[in-house]
Amino acid sequence: MNKRIIFIGLAVVIALIGCKSNFKPKEAKYVFYFIGDGMGLAHVHLAENYLAEMSDGDYSQTRLNMFSMEHLGLSKTHCQNRLITGSAAAGTALSTGFKTSVNTIGMDETKSIPLNSIAKTIKSLGYKVGIMSTVSINHATPAVFYANVPSRKDYYDIGMQGLDVGYDFLGGGGFHYDKGKSNDKESLTMLAREKGVQVISKNDDFLKYSNKNEPVQFIHGRIDASANMPYDIDRNKDDLTLGQIVEKSIELLDNPKGFFMMVEGGKIDWASHSNDAATLVHDVLAFDDAIGVAIEFYKKHPENTLIVVCSDHETGGLGLGFADTKYQSNPSLLKNQRVSIDSLALVFNNYYKIKKDNALFNEVLDTLNHYLGFGKEALVLDKAEIEQIKQSFQNVFVNKKTKDPEFNSFEFASVAVTILNHKAGIGWTTTSHTSIVTGVFASGVNSELFAGFYDNIDVPRKIVKAMNIKHDFKIDSVNSRK
Ligand SMILES: [Zn+2]
């Protein structure tokens, strides 16, 4: 044999051996899974347009983190028994890779077969796992990552399963129905402490905390009666943002094996149920800032970080254009709204407590001017709008024709905010969810898997693939495809 051929042959063999020993499949070991609850593409785009108008007005140059990701996809959201899904069924699809029926948490549609959350597998493989949300931690979306219960309303059972699962970090909201619905059970927060979880509820304590060896639960310093964080628009200066919570949790979860964190922007959905555009925009921006924190981490660990941002469904049928304003739109008018509809209603509820039947329309209108910026420039109310507000004042404050047996001014505040939305060129079709496909945005290692058009059950399947780990998708429920 020719010497030259032998030489080339040897070189090829050596090269192949070398290749084989060095070959390591690309795999994600730091995984960020962001879920914007109720966040449709219009929600994201509205927030981006708002930001553009609030800065230099350049719609082309302004980019949210979400819209700057490396790969974009679209996901269908329908569940087993309805075209328009809910957070429990959609979350189950996003955490287990199976469709189920409305309101079911981590179980098949017969509510008898538990489905495996990928987070549990990831934890069992030695990765650290963190689950955080702006709403209570036993609410539907966080719940699907650790619990298997027939109904999303089984808050206490969900909470108990959250304690048993032993994840490394829970954060944001606290436990809704901490002592059960009848307030007669042992406090879930106390039980967490008994299990050795470091429960921290002071912002400063959390930011200073550095022990990475014990599981941590951070409960936001200003949660409401149902254990949810405030809307971002209602945030006080010293309240922690979702981004700050993500930043701190990265520090606590970081370890050589890797981590998985699910971060829910839960109140995007709630603002949309209320058709409250300004509040929605602030929560989308806060969510996007939290994604920015993950992107900073990715820049430091480009070889093995994966960021996936998706949504469980759209809420509100948000439309960026309104019949009366035709081709005019002005998202930046939303900046005039200082608080959420909920907080505005509280202001009026307190006013009513003092004034009772002596509430005055002019005083109420002054308050609206203060909180919504009515009366100036593009927000000068026309006759018909003032009449509409007057009518609602009459119904709510004088005739007390509200759905609530007790005085509640939510309806009144909502009428006023709707006028502001319309002036900004924003419309809503529903206070419920819609069936439109949602966006999936991904950056980092193997993020190309998330490009294209697919189903919500494919998202966790793609994550598992991107991590190059084995997860058992074998529990095939009656009707699941494939
Ligand atoms: Zn919802």
Cβ atoms of residues 224 and 270 within 8 Å: no
Distance from the alpha carbon of residue 271 to the mean position of ligand 1, in angstroms: 9
DSSP character for 325? G
**Spatial distance between the Cα atoms of 55 and 98, rounded to a whole number of angstroms:** 42
Bridge-based pairing of strands 426-427 and 71-76 is unpaired
Which residues of the chain have a pLDDT value below 50? 477-482
In sequence order, the 6+-apart residues with CB closer than 8 A to the CB of 29 are 127, 257, 258, 259, 304, 305, 467
Distance from the alpha carbon of residue 14 to the mean position of ligand 1, in angstroms: 59
Report pLDDT for 480. 47
Bridge-based pairing of strands 438-444 and 305-311 is antiparallel
The CA-to-CA distance between both ends of the chain, in Å, stands at 54
- Taking the CA atoms of the chain, what radius of gyration do you get in angstroms? 25
Cβ atoms of residues 292 and 244 within 8 Å: no
Report pLDDT for 482. 41
Cβ atoms of residues 229 and 134 within 8 Å: yes
Report pLDDT for 477. 45
Report pLDDT for 439. 98
Cβ atoms of residues 440 and 450 within 8 Å: yes
The 3-state DSSP class for residue 262 equals strand
Q: Which two tokens stand for residue 82?
A: 């309805």
Distances (CA, A) of 18 to 4, 7, 228, 318: 21, 16, 55, 56
- Length of the chain equals 482
**Spatial distance between the Cα atoms of 311 and 91, rounded to a whole number of angstroms:** 9
In sequence order, the 6+-apart residues with CB closer than 8 A to the CB of 373 are 333, 335, 336, 337, 379, 420
Distance from the alpha carbon of residue 170 to the mean position of ligand 1, in angstroms: 22
Q: Which two tokens stand for residue 241?
A: 């943002």
Nearest-5° Cα angle at 447, 444 to 452: 150
Distance from the alpha carbon of residue 56 to the mean position of ligand 1, in angstroms: 33
Instruction: Catalogue all structural domains in the chain, each as residue range(s) with its CATH number.
Output: 30-316+431-467 (3.40.720.10), 320-427 (no CATH)
Instruction: Point out which residues pair with 314 in neighbouring strands.
Output: 434
Distance from the alpha carbon of residue 22 to the mean position of ligand 1, in angstroms: 48
DSSP character for 275? T
Distance from the alpha carbon of residue 258 to the mean position of ligand 1, in angstroms: 32
Distance from the alpha carbon of residue 283 to the mean position of ligand 1, in angstroms: 14
Report pLDDT for 401. 82
Instruction: Point out which residues pair with 116 in neighbouring strands.
Output: none
Report pLDDT for 481. 44
Distance from the alpha carbon of residue 86 to the mean position of ligand 1, in angstroms: 6
The 3-state DSSP class for residue 167 equals coil
Report pLDDT for 189. 96
Distance from the alpha carbon of residue 433 to the mean position of ligand 1, in angstroms: 6
Report pLDDT for 479. 46
**Spatial distance between the Cα atoms of 268 and 308, rounded to a whole number of angstroms:** 17
Q: Which two tokens stand for residue 46?
A: 């509205």
Report pLDDT for 478. 45
b/e map 388-419, b = 16+ CB within 10 Å: bbeebbeebbeeeebeeeeebbbbbbbbbbbb
Report pLDDT for 7. 63
Report pLDDT for 201. 95
Report pLDDT for 454. 98
**Spatial distance between the Cα atoms of 112 and 109, rounded to a whole number of angstroms:** 8
